[in-house]
Structure 1
Amino acid sequence: MQDIRTQAGFAMTPDELKTFHTQGYFGPFKVYEIDEMKAAWRRERLRLMDRSNAVYQEEAASSGNTNISNYDRHLDSTFLADHVSRPEIVDRVSSVLGPDVLCWRTEFFPKYPGDEGTDWHQADTFANASGQPQIVWPEDEEFGGTITVWTAFTEANEETGCLQFIPGTHQTMFYDETKKMHYDPDKINAEEKDGVRRGFFGYDYRELQKDPDWKPDESQAVSMVMRPGEAILFWSTLMHASLPHSGRTDEMRLGFASRYVPTKVRVYPDTDVIEEYGGRVSLDRYGSVLVAGHNGNPHNRIATATTTGHPFVTR
């Protein structure tokens, strides 16, 4: 896709927005050159091993090999802090969400050789693991979810376990997030579903189905093959999953997801902790990042700089 834009930046065109609203995702699009991304990851993966400035400390480590320990490293990493505010990302997100935008969470999604795929799932309030809503849209909105921008830091293809989407499923929730899944670490790498080895970080996402007999129509699934430095933008309410890592290559697949909402959305309302995936972390040092516009919502805590003092950029 051509990424040479006018001085207006990387805002989505009317045709791109129409396609996005129909299918629930947009891209892939380029954020970094391939060599630029490879060099950045060689450098940053060593720096990220140092968690001394991370906002989640001992409690995150106690969660073991679960995804909660991969949350919000943009709050201590200069590279990731700049990444979440890159115009290639924020201009497109603002095209969908409007001028006032928060980045409320980031997550690493590593997939090592032999790792299972991820179950088909949707997320609206992100209460799926804990039962506690983590984002809440105004009451006059039926449901909202978040815009996720998933950036490939390494090769993401059908061999290494790329994302899959079922286009057009973002307008209907097939899962009830008021139910609560039951965490069982023994479920990791434990089950084959319809010929594909999938799980959900120690949960069974099918526990949230509104209709226990319903199955996603995998015949409509589209694989999101991405080179290092490319990204895909999608509604979290879009039905999405990932394939297993075949193990036929030694390269880890690594994606970095940054999640965005309008400032009118309440982030982590009425709670001071995140509790899921067998772990618990305090939100004492947490803050959302204003990546575009202005924040008129007094309910949300805002971080203006990383824990090491690097200022966040607001577009």
Structure 2
Amino acid sequence: MDKKYGLSEDELAAFRKNGYIGPFDLYSPEEIGETYKKLRPQMFDREFAVYDLDHTSLLAGYDRHLDIDFFSQHIMQRRILDKLESILGPDILCWRSELFPKYPGDEGTDWHQADTFAHASGAPQIEWPSSEFGGAVTVWTAVTEANEENGCLRFIPGTQEEMFYDESKEMAYKPEEVNKLEKDGIKRGFFGYDYRNLQKDPSFVPDESAAASITMKAGQFVIFWSTLMHSSFPNTTTNKTRLGFTARYVPTCVKVYPDTDTVDEYGTVLSLEKYGTVLVSGEDDYQHNKILNSNTRGYVFASED
């Protein structure tokens, strides 16, 4: 049955070819602007957060859909889920969300791909039942406007089918060194890591001439495979913070954080005691993963009709 907000045949073909589709409208700029004002104090309030972290931690933006009602509602938005069902099928989990602020003067994020998401932790965080598939479908929502001046996303279309990086290789966490790197004249790193250490071919250089800048109005979202080569510009503005919110989705057949009860990333170890995936669509016939029915404040996860 066709979904009201599902992808058309042409859109689905474009997604399969390029690895991304969008941006799409979700909230008006005025609506998300008012919401952002209310969200800011909630983002600093960690009383109900599932991870015991200081708000200054690089991981402080992880999984806020599990304690902030707006983000709990957001991951269940029918305008998003109908499109995801076109891509992933009817049975879908949201396994992670992340807040990505880019403050004035922040460096860009270097080119990267994510298949098993082992690039920082050293161990696979998601495991597909077949090696023919991998990665997650990411929904990146612009909480504020995103443009080339304040750090919008960049994609290299069509690169989602081949991994140019080996996530099993070791990356040393050296923020004091990596965050000062300039590559091709642009200040950019990877949150304290040098992603080039994972290159299968040490001489590999992403073809930036093929890159597309994903400029977005506040309230829009774009969908892409995590295996698509992506990066972001630095924020060269003096007074504008760019804020994006990502939600990452996989089919229910995928195992999340297999055989571990902690996450070790960016110099921090997180306990998964309070963590769980969210069944956003369909049924879970596999029962691989712990599923939460409500967030830590009691909001019940339910999609719109």
How far did residue 189 of structure 1 move?
3.1
- Per-residue CA distance 1:34-61 (angstroms, 9 max, x = gap): 111111111111122211000001xx32
Match of 2:85 among 86, 90, 94: 94
Select 2:250's aligned residue among 258, 261, 265.
261
Instruction: Report the counterpart of residue 162 of structure 1 in structure 2.
Output: 152
Q: In structure 1, what is the equivalent of residue 67 of structure 2? A: 76
Contact 1:187 1:199 in 2 (8 A): no
Equivalent of 1:61, from 54, 78, 81?
54
State the percentage of identical aligned residues.
55
CA shift, 1:273, in A, is: 0.6
Q: Do residues 142 (structure 1) and 132 (structure 2) align?
A: yes
**Aligned counterpart in structure 2 of residue 8 of structure 1, from 3, 9, 24:** 3
Give distance in 1, aligned partners of 2:132 and 2:198: 19
Among 291, 294, 315, which residue is 2:280 paired with? Answer: 291
Q: How many Å separate the matches in 2 of 1:85 and 1:141?
A: 28
Alpha-carbon separation, structure 2, partners of 1:46 and 1:7: 40
From 13, 16, 22, give the equivalent of 1:18.
13
Q: Which residue of 2 aligns with 1:108?
A: 99
Following TM superposition, the consecutive aligned residue runs of length 4 or more in structure 1 with deviations greater than 6 angstroms are none
Partner of 2:39: 44
1:274-289 mapped onto 2 (5 Å cutoff): 274-289=263-278
User: Matched residue of 1:286: which SS?
Assistant: coil
Q: Is the 8 A contact 2:140 2:246 kept in 1?
A: yes
Q: SS state of the match for residue 167, structure 2?
A: coil
Give, in angstroms, the shift of residue 235 of structure 1. 0.2
Question: What does residue 116 of structure 2 align with?
Answer: 125
Secondary structure in 2 aligned to 1:170? helix
The Cα offsets for residues 98-149 of structure 1, whole Å up to 9 and x where unpaired, read as 00000000000000000000010000000000111000000x3323100000
Say if 2:77 and 2:303, in contact at 8 Å, map to a contact too: no
Query: Could you tell me which residue of structure 2 aligns to residue 234 of structure 1?
Result: 224
Correspondence for 2:174? 184
Q: Which residue pairs with 2:261 in the alignment?
A: 272
CA distance in 1, matches of 2:49, 2:177: 29
Count of matched residue pairs: 304
Matched, 1:301 2:290: yes
| Partner residue in 2 for 1:175 | 165
SS in structure 1 at match of 2:93:
strand
Equivalent-residue separation in structure 2 for 1:238 and 1:71 (angstroms): 21
SS class of match (2:13):
helix
Q: Give SS of 2:171's match.
A: coil
Aligned AA (1:282) = S
Contact 1:158-1:243 at 8 Å conserved across structures: yes
Per the TM alignment, residue 314 of structure 1 is displaced from its structure 2 partner at its CA by 4.3
Query: Matched residues in 1 for 2:303 and 2:249: separation?
Result: 13
The 10-residue stretch of structure 1 (88-97 or 99-108) with the greater mean CA deviation from structure 2: 88-97
Name the structure 1 match of 2:198: 208
If the length of structure 1 is used for normalisation, what is the TM-score?
A: 0.94
Report the Cα distance in structure 2 between the residues aligned to 1:187 and 1:25, rounded to whole angstroms.
Answer: 32
In the alignment, residue 30 of structure 1 is paired with which amino acid? D
Give deviations 1:223-243, integer Å, cap 9, x for gaps. Answer: 000010001000000000000
1:272 partner amino acid: D
Note the alpha carbon deviations across 1:215-264, whole angstroms, 9 max, x for none.
Answer: 100111110000100010000000000000012x4110000000000000
Check conservation: 1:115, 1:189, Cα contact below 8 A.
no
Could you tell me which residue of structure 1 aligns to residue 301 of structure 2?
Answer: 312
CA contact (8 A) 1:126 1:134 kept: yes
The match for 1:34 is 29
